[in-house]
Amino acid sequence: MKLKLTWLITLFMAFVMQLSFAQEKSVTGTVTAATDGLPLPGVNVIVKGTTRGVQTDFDGNYTIKASVGETLVFSFIGMKNTSVVVAANNTINISMQEDIESLAEIVVVGFSTKSRDELTSAVSNVTSEDLEKIAPSVSIDNMLQGVASGVQVTAQNGKPGQTAFIRVRGIGSINAGNQPLYIVDGAQVNEDDVNGINPNDVESVSVLKDAASTSIYGARGGNGVVLITTKRGKKGQDGVFKLTSRVGRSRKTEDNFTMMNAAQKLQYERELGQGIGAGISSNAEYLRLVGLDHDWKDDLLQDGLQKSIGFSASGGEERMNYFFSLGYDEDSGIIQDIDAYNRVSGRLNVDYQIKDWAKIGSSLSFSSIENGDPRDRNNVQNPFRAIYDYNPYETKFVLDANGDQVLDANGNPIYNATHSGYPVSAELNQNITTRYYNRFLGNLYLDLKLTDNIKFLTQGSGIYEQYRRENFLQPGSVLDLIVNGGVPTGSKTDNGSFDFTYTWLNKITYTNTFGDVHNLELTALSEYVRDNFRSYSARGQGFVVGGPSVLDVAATPIAVAGTRSEYSLFSLAANVDYNYDNRYIINATVRRDGSSRFGTNSKYGNFYSGSIAWNITNEEFMANNKTFSTLKLRASAGTSGNDQIGRYSSITTYGFGAYNNGLTTISPANFGDPNLGWEQNFNYGVGLEFGLFNNRLRGLVDYYNRTTSDLLLNEQLSLTTGGNAVTGNLGEMVNKGLEFELAGDIIRNEKLKWTVSANLNLYDNEVTKLVNVDDPNTVGVNESDLFTTSNFFSILRVGEEVNTFYLTRYAGVNPANGEALYLDADGNVTNNANGNEVALSGKSPFADLDGSVSTTVQYSGFDLSANFYYKVGNYIYNLPESNMLSDGDNIADNQRLDAFNYWRNPGDTNVLPRPFSNSNQTSDRFLQKGDYIRLRSLQLGYTLPSRFTETMALKSARIYVSGTNLWTYAPYYKGDPEVGIGSGETQGASVVPGEFALYSYPTTSSISLGVDIQF
């Protein structure tokens, strides 16, 4: 029927066009908005079926050539498209109606999109416009900090291109991973893949926070879901080119403490009677050393250079729309001699209405990243440790007696090994590691309209990540000579991996409206995910000094290795949405998931949720109310899961090795539990959203309660059975919280708009259960303590916050003899810290509250936005401080200036312990409160007036200057308070974010200048 109609129209159109071809004339008119009658500038006026099109001017006027019988289509964002057939009259004035649906904020939830009004769940949404005002970052997840309530974002570290730790509504898991599920254009991606996405391509980021919205993701939604939607072209919009470019400088944030200078360090050494300072025999020698004073930061670090260039083209015709983009990002990072990061990215998103009832489309992107930063480890190869450890009187290069540089055989200066025995500059210049990531992310879909009410979508998505790492230890380099007994050898390691994940989604949706007020949407879907991972590693040694570095050149092959693993997930889900007159909205979801990661007996899990919302302002009794423009209550409850554990954790396996030159060996590889199953999240919450005075003041309050049961934990077993750790469903934990958002337009008129907004999140976490059964044979033993291998200074204990610090309590210095005092487990004072650890209630690496305050001012062309992020109530173990105030133990390393404040005479109080009194033991002496507030971003922009841009044939142009982390206030913690990873290679894969600091890549502050042009 419809098909026939289309044929008739086409025939008719062809007929009309032939007839009217000769009668072209000029049509003029004014376009106004129906609501206020004011002219609308920038409206697209297109002659349907042609490429002829113009835009209305500042006063809403237009002139276009058209023939009688042709159709003019008027389109403008936020307005309904209007079509008029050209008749005899040469003037066509149009009054455009507001398109209510498109004006409302569209939020992507699960497998559908909704307007804010229709939502029954807690979702935070960030649009591309919001993102433009935020401190720029190459990784989109870092930009979410402080932007979405209930979503705690901590930079993993300051490394260029590094992703962030994101915690949605508290700590949901302990060992099974706490990162939310990332979905890009409908396909699951790994956390690292987010780094491959150009933030300029992102249209919106939705964070699904409660069970109502996450249970449609079933087994993987337990930690919340981050939905990233990339930009797509708009139908009927002429192509728009956009050029963005930005250049900036970055620098390590200033320390809030002072290190000793040369004179001070020498004095300290002399006082303690150890080191160079203690052995100085002449004044000349002293003066020479003092004269060498310098800050190692200047020798090892630099001001980083950040560049970003992006180009995009987007638009569409009636049946087709497109978005195309290319991007290049570069961040040299702050280590001298190393280029830390660059990324090339590209994207093409296309949708094509091939039939009235069929649409196809794709989102295709690639990115290629090159990383040159050094390994993150706590040793003499780490420049971020060296800047503090190296003494200010030690020089970068070896000097002779006259103070001149000593040269090697090739005439190059020789790096000074310093007291550490290994010059970190040699590491940076001669032991070079480069990592490459090539990623292809894409999906293809076919969307069929089977009847007016039933739609079917099938979508295939694939992510291919190719990773390659090359490490070349140059022959003859300092480290090379160390590991090869003084013989220049050189070694090269090539390793990498191939990871391919595909998802096949099929979805049927039925929508209908009955009696004008009953809106029903039913969805059923199936999803199959499969991942294939392969890795390899090859190493060879024996290279020519100054020669090439490919493995082929290696004289001796040393090692080869390769691994392979798989993962699969199969799911069926259904969703019901019922909306009565936009007043009462009910949503229910059920999902069944099967995962290959779990034991044979427990592969499948069922998840469900229900939620309800009441739009009070849509009630008749509110019709006359002038105060509330929005008032909405919602409530939800449901379950979701977590499967982020090792792929084969549930299986006991035996692995292979070699002994005695190639004899095969078999030994245990993993001890598994066949009943290993899902980690379950039960989540309920209520929320209130409000808008007052025409939404001039708006906000929301949310309460949630989230119980994670069957926690996937690694249980440390007795050393007498080999000291293995076995993954099991071992505990339960509750997260409760309150979220507040408030935003107000303090001034809102044509010229000036000033908005202030703030959010506050209160977190409460408690471990409620750890092992299934208390052992009746061991009366009095606290079996609720669970020790896992990933904990350094903290434990899990029932009744406490997760990862509560477990340390000996420091009790100051004994004024009589200067020894450090501690409390033993019973609270008695002792001078021995051994084995006296207690759980420090209320002190954990997790904050009690965090949030942000931001403000935006727009005045004519200027815009100013500032965003402050604050965090309160977390504790950090400050390991660098234990090295810098080491009570003499680390006297070979430079010390903090306040190390001078040590016990000297009986009766001294408020001092550090007496040097060399074996005082520098692990205790809460180095546990510090991590509270801080930081000016996360500050941006001043200026949009050029249209009279300038018009003369330059531009649609718009904006220049801005932007700063990140420009100011920080941290009253307790000595160092940068934003601690994520302490030390990458010390902690391995299972990091408790913020548990301790240990010389990971530091946080940087930056200033950049950018230009955005559209034409």
Partner 1 sequence: MKKYILIFTVSLFTLITSCGKENLDLNPFDSVGADVALNTPSDFESAVNGLYRQMIFGSYGASMMSFPDVLTDNLIFVVTGRQTQKTTFEWLYNANNTQQGFMSQSYTVIQQANFILENIDRIPDGAQKNNIIAQAKAARGLAHFMVNNVFAKIPTQSGDANGSLGIPIMTSSDIRQKPARNTVGEVYTAVINDLEDAKSLISASNGKERFNLNAINGLLSRVYLYNGQNQAAADAANAVTTTVSTFSNFAGVWTDANNDGVIFELKNFDTDTNVSVGVPYSQTLTGGIKSEYAVSFELYNLYQNTDIRKSTYVVTSSFEGNLYNHVAKYLSSSVNTGSGVVDIKVIRAAEVQLNKAEALANMPGNDVAALAALDLVRSQRYIAFTGGETGQALKDAIQLERRLELAFEGHRFFDLKRRGLAIDRTNNGDFADGTGTPPNFLVLPAGDTRFQLPIPKTEIDVNSNMVQNPGY
Subset of residues 726 to 745 that bind partner 1, contact rule: CB under 8 A: 726
From 867, 854, 913, select the one nearest 888 (Cα to Cα).
913
From 340, 361, 360, select the one nearest 349 (Cα to Cα).
361
Q: Which amino acid is at 436?
A: Y
Give me the 474-513 binding string for partner 1, x by CB under 8 A, dash otherwise: ----x--xx-xxx--x--------------x-x-x-----
Min separation Cβ 7 and partner 1, Å: 14
Select from 410, 778, 910, 951 the one that contacts partner 1 (CB under 8 A).
778
**What is the C-alpha to C-alpha distance for residues 378 and 386, in angstroms, rounded to an integer?**
10
**Number of neighbouring beta carbons within 10 Å of residue 707:** 17
Q: How many Cα atoms within 13 Å fall on the side-chain side of residue 518?
A: 4
Q: Does 102 bind partner 1 (CB under 8 A)?
A: no
Min separation Cβ 482 and partner 1, Å: 5
Residues 6+ apart with CB under 8 A from 977: 871, 876, 930, 931, 932, 934, 968, 970
Nearer to partner 1, 113 or 506 (CB): 506
Nearer to partner 1, 662 or 907 (CB): 662
Nearer to partner 1, 56 or 894 (CB): 894
Min separation Cβ 578 and partner 1, Å: 24
Give me the 911-940 binding string for partner 1, x by CB under 8 A, dash otherwise: -------x---x------------------
Min separation Cβ 136 and partner 1, Å: 41
Nearer to partner 1, 271 or 785 (CB): 785
From 348, 347, 340, select the one nearest 307 (Cα to Cα).
340
Subset of residues 878 to 897 that bind partner 1, contact rule: CB under 8 A: none
Cα torsion angle, 353, 354, 357, 358, sign: negative
Nearer to partner 1, 513 or 665 (CB): 665
Q: Which amino acid is at 308?
A: S
Q: Are 363 and 866 in contact (CB under 8 A)?
A: no
Nearer to partner 1, 257 or 570 (CB): 570
Nearer to partner 1, 129 or 775 (CB): 775
Query: Integer distance in angstroms from the first to the last C-alpha of the chain?
Result: 43
Q: In which element (H, E) is residue 748 found?
A: strand 732-748
In degrees, to the nearest 5, what angle opens at C-alpha 736 toward C-alphas 733 and 737? 150
Min separation Cβ 507 and partner 1, Å: 9
Subset of residues 40 to 79 that bind partner 1, contact rule: CB under 8 A: none
Select from 51, 664, 905, 909 the one that contacts partner 1 (CB under 8 A).
664
Subset of residues 684 to 703 that bind partner 1, contact rule: CB under 8 A: none
Q: What is the three-state SS of 805-872?
A: EEECEEEEECCCCCCEEEECCCCCEECCCCCCCEECCCCCCCCCEEEEEEEEEEECCEEEEEEEEEEE
From 569, 590, 499, select the one nearest 527 (Cα to Cα).
569
Q: Does 7 bind partner 1 (CB under 8 A)?
A: no
Min separation Cβ 930 and partner 1, Å: 25
Nearer to partner 1, 558 or 1011 (CB): 558
Helix (H, G, I), strand (E, B) or coil at 288: helix
For 611-670, give the DSSP string.
EEEEEGGGSGGGTT-SSEEEEEEEEEEEEEEE--S-TTTTS-EEEEEEETTTEEEEEEEE
Give me the 329-348 binding string for partner 1, x by CB under 8 A, dash otherwise: --------------------
**What is the C-alpha to C-alpha distance for residues 156 and 987, in angstroms, rounded to an integer?**
12
Select from 18, 624, 667, 749 the one that contacts partner 1 (CB under 8 A).
667
- How many whole angstroms from its chain centre is CA 657? 38
**What is the C-alpha to C-alpha distance for residues 211 and 612, in angstroms, rounded to an integer?**
12
**What is the C-alpha to C-alpha distance for residues 913 and 903, in angstroms, rounded to an integer?**
6
Subset of residues 245 to 274 that bind partner 1, contact rule: CB under 8 A: none
How far from 844 is each of 518, 723, 773, CA to CA, in Å? 50, 26, 26
Q: Does 717 bind partner 1 (CB under 8 A)?
A: yes
Pick the stretch among 250-258, 436-444, 655-663, 697-705 that binds partner 1 (CB under 8 A). 655-663
Helix (H, G, I), strand (E, B) or coil at 504: strand
Q: Does 546 bind partner 1 (CB under 8 A)?
A: no
Nearer to partner 1, 8 or 100 (CB): 8
From 148, 216, 130, select the one nearest 181 (Cα to Cα).
216
Select from 546, 662, 776, 907 the one that contacts partner 1 (CB under 8 A).
662
Q: Does 600 bind partner 1 (CB under 8 A)?
A: yes
Select from 12, 15, 654, 862 the one that contacts partner 1 (CB under 8 A).
654
Subset of residues 428 to 467 that bind partner 1, contact rule: CB under 8 A: 448, 450-451, 456, 458
Subset of residues 815 to 854 that bind partner 1, contact rule: CB under 8 A: 834-835
Min separation Cβ 892 and partner 1, Å: 10
Pick the stretch among 154-162, 524-532, 943-951, 966-974 that binds partner 1 (CB under 8 A). 524-532
Min separation Cβ 559 and partner 1, Å: 8
Contacts with partner 1 by CB under 8 A: the residue count is 81
In degrees, to the nearest 5, what angle opens at C-alpha 506 toward C-alphas 501 and 512? 145
Pick the stretch among 8-16, 253-261, 758-766, 774-782 that binds partner 1 (CB under 8 A). 774-782
Helix (H, G, I), strand (E, B) or coil at 278: helix
Q: Does 669 bind partner 1 (CB under 8 A)?
A: yes
Instruction: Return left, alpha or beta for 118; rule: phi > 0 is left, psi -120 to 50 is alpha, else beta.
Output: alpha
Q: Determine the length of the chain.
A: 1015
Min separation Cβ 657 and partner 1, Å: 5
Min separation Cβ 310 and partner 1, Å: 38
Min separation Cβ 513 and partner 1, Å: 22
**What is the C-alpha to C-alpha distance for residues 139 and 95, in angstroms, rounded to an integer?**
43
Select from 556, 694, 772, 901 the one that contacts partner 1 (CB under 8 A).
556
Min separation Cβ 807 and partner 1, Å: 11
From 212, 219, 217, select the one nearest 588 (Cα to Cα).
212
Select from 287, 781, 952, 1009 the one that contacts partner 1 (CB under 8 A).
781
Q: Does 377 bind partner 1 (CB under 8 A)?
A: no
Q: Does 586 bind partner 1 (CB under 8 A)?
A: no
Min separation Cβ 573 and partner 1, Å: 12
Pick the stretch among 111-119, 133-141, 155-163, 645-653 that binds partner 1 (CB under 8 A). 645-653
